[in-house]
Chain A
Amino acid sequence: MNLEILIKYLFLFTVGLITGTCGNDKLPREWKQGVELPAIFPDYAGITIPPNIAPLNFVIQEPGEAFMVRLTSKNGNDVTIFSRIPAIRINGSKWKKLLAANQGEELNIEIFCQNKGIWSKFNTVRQIIAREKIDSFLSYRLINSAYVLWFEMGLYQRNLENFRESPIIQNKSVNGGCINCHSLSKNNPEKFMFHIRSDFPGTVIYNNGKLEKIETKTDFTLASASYGAWNPNGRHIAFSVNKINQNFYVFKGQSNEVSDKYSDLVVYDTQSNILTTSPEVSTRSRENLPEWSADGKTIFYISAGEATNDSTRMITRYSLMRIGYDPEKNLWGMPDTIISAKLTGKSITFPKCSPDGRFLVFCMTDYGYFTIHHKKSDLYILDLKTWEYRATNEINSDETESYHSWSTNGRWLIFSSRRLDGVHTRTFIAHFDETGKFGKPFVLPQKDPDFYNNYLHNFNRPELMTGKINVSPQKIRDAAREDAVPVVFDPKVNIDALSGASKIKK
């Protein structure tokens, strides 16, 4: 029986190879014109795409014994594909030429299906080829869908201009420890960091060719650094330090709630190895998820009230805050509430500032901050000029929308969503135009167009990068396995131990 299946597969593979790749690329002489759009997966109809994106391979979800696809645009370089199977794979170099020649133009995808010898043509799928490029690389963590346990995970980088993915680090390299919360300075692959928990704990920082590992837990902070954000100056990193708990729901349409008992903000200076904070961000309230403004002089963050019991710990709402911070002089301003949870009745999380400093995209959900498990979590955008915000309904879905990242030119937003099957987190790309509107988002293209229907890992914390991280994973592994250098807590900071959740040793 199994041999039969194997032989069947081999036969189909061979037939597919011969007919799928070596077929006749000429259009059929005649066909029946349909009026409906063809069903294709992933849904690439009506989207705006970067001119440097990898081919948008897709599966035609219409019946047929043969398929023909023609990609056309105003300035030529058309691509025609004939296939006996519904999975359409576009030649990379032809696709590149087509996009390069037609930036700013419409891309038409004509799809023909042959049934019982008769060809029919669907309505043309249209896309816009944007003029603005997207950052060429994307980093993310690949993990399974568990909550408490983990086994294998890793940080990976993907070339968005083709399909090449390579590891930055895998947790096998550090005896299976947890690798998390990677962050970059202005999408710069020369400046990135990530944490390791369990075995070989610490924070690995790659800064302009130098790899080092630090231990951010001090006698004066309540935990090691967690969620980080690099200052655009490339020198300072703001972190939250959190005492994290997990609880499980059974009946709320979500399974899990990650919440903090305490959390504060700190800033780490990569040059002096000093970790500093302010009484204003180390209070009994829970300050969390820092993000720098484009000029690097303001920290946006979220804050919720003190957790007095399990209920207030979990069912809490975070407001959007900001505080001035001058990294050069190590001077803190006063906190300011931008959007109050009391007014929204919702909880804000993951603020991310656009590179031009004009917009802030964040998630909003019913409560808490760990939105990946919140089906109701949606993306919102705040105009930092007018201080008006709105739900970005053009990119939201009925499923979870969560972590996001801007491209360097501010024209593309990458975000996590579970819209494909409600369980697995995939990366979506959306164009952002001059009027402050997003285009229809599309899922990160893969070589195998059916990839997402067979893939059980989650794309966690997607971060765009302007290029490849050029330090080898072997070097990162070696740095990760070294002992961490302890950071020095700023001796000038004089916080009374009673001022906040932090236990400050005097």
Chain B
Amino acid sequence: MKPENFFYIVNVLIALFCFSFLSFAVNPSLHHQNQQIAWQSTDVFIHYFMVFAGGPAEYMALFISQFFYSNWMGSLIVSVFGFLISFFVFKSIVISGEKRHLLFFIIPLIQIILIALMCDYKFHFAVIFNLFVVSAFLFVCAAFQKTTGLTISYHNLIAGIFLYYISGGMYFLIFMVSSMLLLSFKSVKVLIINSSILLAGALLIPYLAHRYIFLSSLNSSFFRSTPDVAAMLRYGRPTLFYIALAIIPVVILLADINGLTTKFREKRISAKIKSTSKSRSQKALKPKYSSWDIAVAIQLLLLVVVSGYVLYKEFKPAEKLKCEIDYQANRQNWNKVLELSGNLKTYDRMVNFQFNRALMNTGQLLEKLFDYEQLLGSQGLFLDRPFASEVALPNSDFYFDLGNIDESQRYAFESETLMANSPRVLKRLILNCIIMNNPKAASTFLNVLASNPIEKKWVENYRQYTIRPELADFDSLIVRKRTDMNKTEGMIGDPPVKLIGQLEKNPQNKAAFECLIALDLLEHDLASLTVDFQYIEKLKYQKLPVVLEEAVILFRSQSRNNEFLNRIRISQQTTSRFNEFAKLTSAAKGDRDKAKQATQAFKNTYWYYVLFLSPKVTNVKLGTRPVEANY
């Protein structure tokens, strides 16, 4: 079999593996959810991307990656692009005419690195698309050079200018460096001229673009490599990312080195041929040529080992799980959220928050609140403080669930600033506007969302409420939210004030009541609990929720003459459990660690929380940063 055909087979097999790995392990629909990928057909949207270097590629990347909403489509797209990059790099090397075949099987490693990058859910598809553009440009230039026989690389320089605009500074540099490495070694003079042209272009084009055309900083003009996104969506750029950026020129460089050594070896061989008899020399040199087979085997082995290692290092199941929890929460699959939250081994505030939210939405907040370690106390329930970009949208969702539409809208606007085109944000704004009887504003947001091809059905469904607002009166969700919405005027403060405001308007808002009580419990606030407990009367609880029972019995043990607490009946089961817990803690004789160890079976009780997990006893503090630091 020809080496070239063998390369294609390996490349296709790797692409198939990538597709499988992406669809079964990574799941690009989580990228779609996490990054709020959105493309729009409006003039404003396209104009935004056409006015900076790198914008056109980002626009195209967004267009393509919007199909990540489907796992298999996303997997297919990424694996196809990975394959094409490998293919174009391979063809560029082949066309450039040097003897570089020995490294053919290293090239598919590009695909592996790209899917390894996809293991990070903040990784932008734009990077892959830009590498694709670079490889395609390299291929076209190499083919052009071969067809025309041009010796001076003006075409690379012109292509570089286009590429600079399409993909931005970093990809332009990759292209220029790769072009230099692909230059022919046949003539030193031509090599020097071409290198000088490309080097001068590599330095001058970004500088001139910065100076006279675009508004970016000099640094960004040379090295922009990822899209500008809001702080919470910003990609961390691990070492592998820089390896991915370097991979095309590195592969070509290795091929160059190989080409040079091959030439050198061939020279040596021909020298030997001259000095020995023809038959003897041929016989003697034969084994050296068959080393190709060994090299291929080594490369394939290397490919498998490196691929396995890279994917093992980069794939982080816990990060995927967090994204899945957020994904399920956004789809209101609350039981799935509860199930997945239990699979996470370490504490995470956002998972804690989504867990609590799932409990709230399934009416179990006061039954199962401590099934998840509430290590941050009320800060795992309410995200209001400290306020940062990453909590804007979850907070909007949470207040929407609660029926506090004004707060939901406030945080939705904050989110809109960070992710202006996000369908999730736009939907939130639209629904809130309809609930708040502002069909005109809803219509503006609907028009924007309508320009997203994937959201047509949703838009059609809600458009009718802006044309005939009275139809919204028959939508059960809207009616429910309007009932829960508070209309009392006043300056809002902390979450309890907001919750009480809602309960005053609709005493049957069970979610608001449970959040209020949970808040009191998480804050160990008996005084507020005593006051807030009154709202239970209007809610039809068959029996007192377990968490509340646990709290009451605990507080009662601490203040025996509290009339309010003594009035509440506690089930026999909870009383027995509490006695057992008390016995175990007493047996530890003040040894906190021992008590904690002994009461592991009570880990999901309020008592355990108060004694061992609450931030009031652990002094755990949430790392904060000033709001400005988000930018």
Contact A454 B444 (CB under 8 A): yes
Contact B631 A422 (CB under 8 A): no
Within 8 A of A (CB), among B518-553: none
B residues less than 8 Å from A248 (CB atoms): 407, 410, 491-492
Contact A250 B498 (CB under 8 A): yes
Contact A423 B491 (CB under 8 A): no
- In whole angstroms, what is the CA distance A6 to B451 when docked? 11
Give the segment of B179-187, B373-381, B411-419 that binds chain A: B411-419
Residue from the list B217, B414, B444, B501 in contact with A149, Cβ < 8 A: B414
Q: Mark B228-253, 1 if CB is under 8 A from A, else 0.
A: 10100000000000000000000000
Q: Mark A246-263, 1 if CB is under 8 A from B, else 0.
A: 011111100111000000
- In whole angstroms, what is the CA distance A247 to B278 when docked? 93
Q: Binding site of A, secondary structure by majority: helix, strand, loop or mixed?
A: loop
A residues less than 8 Å from B454 (CB atoms): 2
Contact A420 B440 (CB under 8 A): yes
Q: A146-B416, A146-B417, A477-B215 are in contact. Are A455 and B44 (CB under 8 A)?
A: yes
Contact A250 B486 (CB under 8 A): yes
- Asked if A177 is at the interface of the complex by the 8 Å CB criterion, the answer is yes
Contact A6 B453 (CB under 8 A): yes
- Asked if A144 is at the interface of the complex by the 8 Å CB criterion, the answer is yes
- Asked if B42 is at the interface of the complex by the 8 Å CB criterion, the answer is yes
- In whole angstroms, what is the CA distance A315 to B146 when docked? 76
Q: A198-B628, A474-B212, A481-B217 are in contact. Are A147 and B486 (CB under 8 A)?
A: no
- In whole angstroms, what is the CA distance A44 to B546 when docked? 64
Q: Mark A133-145, 1 if CB is under 8 A from B, else 0.
A: 0000000000111
B residues less than 8 Å from A256 (CB atoms): 410
Query: In the complex, which of the residues B52, B387, B438, B447 has the most CB atoms of chain A within 10 Å of its own CB atom?
Result: B447
- Asked if A151 is at the interface of the complex by the 8 Å CB criterion, the answer is yes
- Asked if B627 is at the interface of the complex by the 8 Å CB criterion, the answer is yes
- Asked if B610 is at the interface of the complex by the 8 Å CB criterion, the answer is no
Contact A251 B489 (CB under 8 A): yes
Residue from the list A5, A143, A148 in contact with B627, Cβ < 8 A: A148
- In whole angstroms, what is the CA distance A144 to B392 when docked? 14
- Asked if A219 is at the interface of the complex by the 8 Å CB criterion, the answer is no
A residues less than 8 Å from B88 (CB atoms): none
B residues less than 8 Å from A6 (CB atoms): 453
Residue from the list B211, B414, B443, B486 in contact with A251, Cβ < 8 A: B486
B residues less than 8 Å from A472 (CB atoms): 212
CB distance from A334 to the nearest CB of B (A): 36
Q: A251-B488, A454-B44 are in contact. Are A5 and B453 (CB under 8 A)?
A: yes
Contact A251 B406 (CB under 8 A): yes
Within 8 A of B (CB), among A166-190: 167, 169-170, 172-173, 175-177
Contact A147 B217 (CB under 8 A): no
Residue from the list B228, B410, B438, B490 in contact with A172, Cβ < 8 A: B228
CB distance from A173 to the nearest CB of B (A): 5
Q: A144-B413, A251-B489, A251-B501 are in contact. Are A172 and B215 (CB under 8 A)?
A: yes
Contact B409 A144 (CB under 8 A): no
Contact A454 B631 (CB under 8 A): no
- In whole angstroms, what is the CA distance A264 to B407 when docked? 33
Q: What is the size, in residues, of chain A's interface with B at 8 Å between Cβ atoms?
A: 52
- Asked if A9 is at the interface of the complex by the 8 Å CB criterion, the answer is yes
CB distance from B495 to the nearest CB of A (A): 11
Q: A151-B417, A173-B216, A455-B44 are in contact. Are A250 and B441 (CB under 8 A)?
A: no
Within 8 A of A (CB), among B379-423: 387, 389, 392, 404, 406-407, 409-410, 413-414, 416-418, 420
A residues less than 8 Å from B228 (CB atoms): 152, 172
CB distance from A129 to the nearest CB of B (A): 29
B residues less than 8 Å from A121 (CB atoms): none
- Asked if B487 is at the interface of the complex by the 8 Å CB criterion, the answer is yes
Residue from the list B211, B389, B420, B627 in contact with A474, Cβ < 8 A: B211
Q: A144-B420, A250-B406, A250-B498 are in contact. Are A173 and B413 (CB under 8 A)?
A: no
The chain B residue sitting closest to A165, CB to CB, is: B47
B residues less than 8 Å from A148 (CB atoms): 387, 414, 627
- Asked if A470 is at the interface of the complex by the 8 Å CB criterion, the answer is no
Q: A149-B630, A249-B491, A454-B451 are in contact. Are A423 and B417 (CB under 8 A)?
A: no
- Asked if B445 is at the interface of the complex by the 8 Å CB criterion, the answer is yes
- In whole angstroms, what is the CA distance A170 to B212 when docked? 15
A residues less than 8 Å from B492 (CB atoms): 248-251
B residues less than 8 Å from A424 (CB atoms): 441, 444
- Asked if B456 is at the interface of the complex by the 8 Å CB criterion, the answer is yes
B residues less than 8 Å from A11 (CB atoms): none
The chain A residue sitting closest to B439, CB to CB, is: A421
- Asked if A150 is at the interface of the complex by the 8 Å CB criterion, the answer is yes
**A-B CB pair tally, cutoff 8 Å:** 139
- Asked if A456 is at the interface of the complex by the 8 Å CB criterion, the answer is yes
Contact B392 A149 (CB under 8 A): yes
CB distance from B149 to the nearest CB of A (A): 39
CB distance from A155 to the nearest CB of B (A): 11
- In whole angstroms, what is the CA distance A453 to B441 when docked? 9
CB distance from A398 to the nearest CB of B (A): 11
- In whole angstroms, what is the CA distance A314 to B407 when docked? 19
B residues less than 8 Å from A423 (CB atoms): 433, 438, 441, 444
B residues less than 8 Å from A150 (CB atoms): 417, 631
Contact B438 A421 (CB under 8 A): yes
- In whole angstroms, what is the CA distance A257 to B487 when docked? 18
- In whole angstroms, what is the CA distance A175 to B492 when docked? 33
The chain B residue sitting closest to A452, CB to CB, is: B444
- Asked if A269 is at the interface of the complex by the 8 Å CB criterion, the answer is no
A residues less than 8 Å from B389 (CB atoms): 149
- In whole angstroms, what is the CA distance A420 to B441 when docked? 8
B residues less than 8 Å from A106 (CB atoms): none
Contact B215 A167 (CB under 8 A): yes
- In whole angstroms, what is the CA distance A252 to B409 when docked? 13
CB distance from B55 to the nearest CB of A (A): 11
- In whole angstroms, what is the CA distance A63 to B448 when docked? 23
- Asked if B41 is at the interface of the complex by the 8 Å CB criterion, the answer is yes
Residue from the list B212, B216, B417, B489 in contact with A145, Cβ < 8 A: B417
The chain A residue sitting closest to B440, CB to CB, is: A421
B residues less than 8 Å from A170 (CB atoms): 215
The chain B residue sitting closest to A247, CB to CB, is: B491
- In whole angstroms, what is the CA distance A2 to B456 when docked? 10
The chain A residue sitting closest to B418, CB to CB, is: A151
- In whole angstroms, what is the CA distance A448 to B630 when docked? 34
- In whole angstroms, what is the CA distance A79 to B543 when docked? 77
B residues less than 8 Å from A167 (CB atoms): 215
- Asked if A467 is at the interface of the complex by the 8 Å CB criterion, the answer is no
- In whole angstroms, what is the CA distance A170 to B392 when docked? 24
- Asked if B293 is at the interface of the complex by the 8 Å CB criterion, the answer is no
Contact B491 A198 (CB under 8 A): no
Supply 20 A–B pairs (Cβ within 8 Å), ascending by A: A9-B41, A146-B413, A146-B416, A149-B392, A151-B631, A167-B215, A170-B215, A172-B215, A172-B220, A175-B217, A199-B631, A248-B492, A250-B406, A250-B501, A251-B487, A255-B409, A420-B444, A453-B444, A454-B42, A481-B217
Extra inter-chain contacts (11) besides given A145-B416, A147-B414, A423-B441, CB under 8 Å: A2-B454, A144-B420, A146-B416, A172-B216, A173-B217, A175-B217, A250-B404, A255-B406, A420-B444, A454-B42, A472-B212
Nearest first, the 7 A-B pairs at minimum CB distance are A146-B417, A144-B417, A421-B440, A176-B631, A423-B441, A250-B406, A421-B441
